[in-house]
Amino acid sequence: MSNAGLLIVSNPAKLGHMLQIVQSRVQKALYIQLESMDSRGIACLSRLVSGVYSQASALCHNLDVRLLIRSPLPQPKVDVVFFDGPASRISGLNCAAEKLDLSAEDHPVSLKFSKQASEAAAQETDKEFGHVVLGGTFDRLHIGHKELLSQAIIRCKRKLTVGVTDSNMLSSKILNELIEPCDTRIERVKEFLMDVDNTIEYAVVPISDPFGPTKDDPTMDLIVVSEETLKGGLKVNEVRQQKGLLPLTLHCVQLVEDLVPSHLRDTNIEDWKVSSSSGRMRLLGTLLKTPVPRPNIPATPYIIGLTGGIASGKSKIGERLAKKGCGVIDCDLIGHQVYTPGSKGFQMVVEEFGKEIVDSEGKINRRALGKIVFGNQERLEKLNSIVWPQLLEIVQQKVKAFKESGIKIVVLEAAVLTKAGWHSNCHEVWSVIVPPAEAIKRLQERDNLNEEDSRARLAAQPLNSDHVNVANVVFSPSWSTEHTDKQVERAWLQLQSRMSSISHL
């Protein structure tokens, strides 16, 4: 199995079959070179781009596929070259990559053009423009992004400007907390552009409004949009005309159908098209960040810190993990033990906050205590400095008890996991997030709070992005119960694989 491969194709009709062969021999990146690309007209190039990426979506969904347009072959980047013979055609390759002739393979499969691609061909903007522009989120560059960028490149004669949406424009996106940083997305777009065509000038810039540089730049000629962003393209021209600028010619690219196998996606809630939001949904329950070695804690039991915002549903995730055989410690629940009359924690809290927080039954009135610390950061920190160490002692006792009973995985469920610094005592951190609007709705229903109080409760919590930043695995029970079950099952299977690898070291 090779990391990166180069596929040189003389006859596009054979591409489908060649992709079927290649996809099992390459594990990361595949560059495709169609011979005589420079001699083809724009309408033909446009159909080829659509056809190649459509086939890649169906046959090579696991690979980073890049169709070379006007760039030289990426020799230093590949360790295997596939071609459909004769060998003399690749004599110019100086790389030490393995070379495999696929010309003898039987039963070639024609390159299929989707209905959308055929319809698009009839609407081609079949000439080159001096300065082309397009914009988007470009999160985890996927097949749809690559087609959009490639369709812009083949129509560009001199300069291509790409606007990448900055963080302030992402709040409405599904699972926006999982979107890569803007700088990362910009660098990946630049890398792709230079890989596939290094003959034109590129400007890849962050944009903080829907129009970016299109509203002011008189040198721009063509804007490339997708079916989803067509209205935005029309709005761009309205703004330009208001400023006395010439309108841009519009080229609309058809959306790419997501042909990833059904067992890898949830067709009930994901888009039919290739999209970043579907890609982020497929990240749920997967390992996003490699766990940091924790030599300060024993290897067993393996401790997972489960955290998340208020009303995020982390307790339900904990219940699912308990059914898998994990020992679950609910810190929010056992936290009540710290306030038990006669305990050390009880005495310290009363000494600090006064006897007026003790009710007629001799117990701490947590509602009265809450009124004292809520909104007063100094008093809240003082309470935490008393409660958290006492709670951690109880947690450590329970971990020890689970270990003695033979439990191999312990889940430490705690909303304050990272704030209290307990994540340093965990082998991994798993975070649960839901959109703020959903959390507010859940708080109103669960705790019988009004919207104002629910918002205040949520505002006092760490942001979803804070939970994601420390997480190795992220869940979001924002959809169906079945979808949440799939996330947990995915996480569980991957955890078993990781633990198996560790045990063999």
- The last residue of a domain, from among 221, 239, 255: 255
276 inside domain: no
- The last residue of a domain, from among 220, 237, 255: 255
Q: Specify the CATH number for the domain of residue 448.
A: 3.40.50.300
398 inside domain: no
Do 75 and 13 reside in the same domain of the chain? Answer: yes
For residue 341, give the nearest of 319, 323, 366, 320 by alpha carbon: 366
CA distance 445 to 366: 21
Contact 399, 303 (CB under 8 A): yes
Do 116 and 145 reside in the same domain of the chain? Answer: no
pTM of this prediction? Answer: 0.87
Do 308 and 219 reside in the same domain of the chain? Answer: no
Q: What does the pLDDT profile of the chain (505 residues) look like in tens digits?
A: 889 999 988 888 888 888 988 988 999 999 999 887 766 789 888 989 998 998 888 888 889 999 999 887 777 788 898 888 665 566 566 666 787 878 766 544 454 544 444 444 445 578 999 999 999 999 999 999 999 999 999 999 999 999 999 988 998 899 999 999 999 999 999 999 999 999 999 999 999 999 999 999 999 999 999 999 999 999 999 999 999 999 999 999 988 887 777 666 777 777 788 889 999 999 999 999 999 999 889 989 999 999 999 999 999 999 999 999 999 999 988 888 888 998 899 999 999 999 999 998 999 998 889 889 887 889 989 999 999 999 999 999 999 999 999 999 999 999 999 999 999 999 999 999 999 999 999 999 998 889 998 898 888 888 999 999 999 999 999 999 999 999 999 999 999 999 887 654 3
393 inside domain: no
Contact 132, 161 (CB under 8 A): yes
What pLDDT does residue 134 have? 97
Do 424 and 315 reside in the same domain of the chain? Answer: yes
Q: Give the range of the structural domain holding residue 133, as residue numbers without chain letter.
A: 125-255
CA angle 269, 270, 271 (to 5 degrees): 125
Do 33 and 168 reside in the same domain of the chain? Answer: no
CA distances from 213 to 63, 139, 216, 334 (A): 33, 20, 6, 55
Q: Specify the CATH number for the domain of residue 207.
A: 3.40.50.620
Q: Specify the CATH number for the domain of residue 47.
A: 3.40.50
Do 196 and 72 reside in the same domain of the chain? Answer: no
Do 135 and 233 reside in the same domain of the chain? Answer: yes
413 inside domain: yes
- The last residue of a domain, from among 255, 272, 289: 255
What pLDDT does residue 460 have? 81
Do 232 and 158 reside in the same domain of the chain? Answer: yes
Contact 308, 431 (CB under 8 A): yes
Do 302 and 434 reside in the same domain of the chain? Answer: yes
188 inside domain: yes
Q: Give the chain's domain count.
A: 3
Half-sphere exposure of 436 (CA within 13 A, CB side): 18
CA distances from 187 to 206, 283, 324, 460 (A): 11, 21, 41, 35
What pLDDT does residue 92 have? 61
Do 117 and 153 reside in the same domain of the chain? Answer: no
CA distances from 44 to 40, 48, 167, 470 (A): 6, 6, 37, 48
Rounded to the nearest 10 degrees, the angle between the axes of helix 344-353 and helix 377-404 is 180
Do 437 and 447 reside in the same domain of the chain? Answer: yes
CA distance 81 to 452: 62
Do 178 and 89 reside in the same domain of the chain? Answer: no
274 inside domain: no
What pLDDT does residue 58 have? 86
What pLDDT does residue 122 have? 40
429 inside domain: yes
What pLDDT does residue 104 have? 67
